[in-house]
Amino acid sequence: MHYPRLEIRLEIIRKNVTTILEKCDKHSLMPTFVTKGFLADFPLLTTLYKGGVRRFADSNMINLLRMRAMFGKEVELFLIRLPMQEELELVCQNDIVPLISHWEVLEALHTTARKAKKRQRVMLAVEGGDAREGFLPEEFEGIEGRVRDLSWLSVEGIATTLACLSGVLPDRGVVKRLTTLKKELRQKLGKDHFILSVGGTTFFELWRENETWMDIDEIRFGEAFLFGSDISRKKTIEWLSQGAFLLYAEIVEVRSKKVTEEVERGFDAFGRSLSLFPSAPRRRALVALGKQDIDESQLYFWDGNVTIIGATSNYLVLDVEESDKGYKVGDIVCFYPGYGAVLRAFLSPYVEKVYVS
Ligand SMILES: *Cc1c(COP(=O)(O)O)cnc(C)c1O
């Protein structure tokens, strides 16, 4: 067996997919599964597809192109990072629906679509209060005129993303504003079909009660089906399952050590100043798992008497002084990795990915 090893339990994800699809169906919501958290890796992707998922979104074009090649016209694909110039042609050739937040990008995409003689669908990104991507609502003044000239484009709706940057959470007020904007734009553009898309996972909270006042058409999420949690609200989602990802790694040193006091203290290898370490010796376990493989701030260890001190590029350092488990060299320890840690593990060629069905 090779370590470090990321174990992915597909049966948990399969269960979450079924539950989410049922919930969305009940609330007439189109569910869009965001795949950027696991690099749209093949076995996981196939699990989603077999579970009935037909709408995928990613922030990386490479992943979207691979999905188009795998599933053909069977699936709807969305580019959820604002496109770079060189991506416009790929968007158009591969029938990918992008999020757009600038008139000049819409115009450039229109030119591309006209040349290709292909009708191109787009979603307009709208700033929802998180101060990240999107048109400001007041910029839609006169949108009818601007869009009229872009005859090769079809504006499908508006999309907002919250809680990713400033932690702004969606509430009744936010949704009311968005639904009002949707109605206004639908009217201005004279469309029968004009949708409101929201993301990410934290929006699920809004369907707790039997809400009938909301007029949301699509929800985009990653954390929900992967982790069954809502990190923006610091809680698990009780109607979903957790524990789909486990990270195993090996202890390569265990010793009592203290930090030298006699020398000048600088910064760590990543330029951060160090917090104060206890000067009395403490038992430390070094795990062969480094910053290249994981985000140590998003690792959770089952033994509550062990603290994760930090990580260097080579090692994860645990304080095991308070534990009575007798950790020793060669032991395999297991962590629950959070969203960021799983993404890092997928990006690291040093972490073996093992799928368990
Ligand atoms: C990442 C992302 C999502 C999914 O967010 P989760 O928190 O993983 O549910 C949705 N929309 C956009 C635009 C994103 O970038």
Q: What's the 57 CA to ligand 1 centre distance in angstroms?
A: 9
Give the binding-site residues of ligand 1, using a 6 Å CB cut-off. Answer: 34, 36, 59, 80, 161, 199-201, 220-224
CATH fold for domain 245-356: Elongation Factor Tu (Ef-tu); domain 3 (2.40.30)
CA pair distance 243, 37, nearest whole angstrom: 15
Q: Dihedrals φ, ψ of 30, to 5°?
A: -85, 120
The answer to whether the CB of 312 falls within 8 A of the CB of 290 is: yes
Listed in order, the ranges of the chain carrying CATH 2.40.30 are 245-356
Element (H, E) at 100: strand 96-100
Q: Is the pLDDT of residue 47 over 90?
A: yes
The answer to whether the CB of 124 falls within 8 A of the CB of 80 is: no
Q: Is the pLDDT of residue 276 over 60?
A: no
**Helix, strand, or coil (residue 291):** coil
| Structure tokens, 209 | 């009660």
Q: What's the 106 CA to ligand 1 centre distance in angstroms?
A: 22
Q: Is the pLDDT of residue 284 over 70?
A: yes
Q: What's the 234 CA to ligand 1 centre distance in angstroms?
A: 16
pTM: 0.93
CATH fold for domain 9-236: TIM Barrel (3.20.20)
Helices 42-50, 10-26: inter-axial angle, 10-degree rounding:
40
Q: Closest Cα to atom 11, ligand 1: which residue?
A: 199
Strands (E), 18-70: 30-34, 55-58
**Helix, strand, or coil (residue 315):** coil
Q: Is the pLDDT of residue 265 over 80?
A: no
pLDDT one-digit tens code per residue, 289-342:
999 999 999 999 999 999 999 999 999 999 999 999 999 999 999 999 999 999
Residue where the block lists tokens 């959470």? 169
Q: Is the pLDDT of residue 209 over 90?
A: no
Q: Quick one: 6 exposed, middle or buried, by C-beta within 10 A (0-12, 13-18, 19+)? A: buried
The predicted pLDDT at position 345 comes to 97
Question: Could you tell me which residues come within 8 angstroms of residue 86 by beta carbon, excluding any fewer than 6 positions away?
Answer: none
Listed in order, the ranges of the chain carrying CATH 3.20.20.10 are 9-236
- Lowest average pLDDT, out of 84-88, 118-122, 263-267, 353-357, goes to 263-267
Q: What's the 80 CA to ligand 1 centre distance in angstroms?
A: 8
Amino acid, res. 214:
M
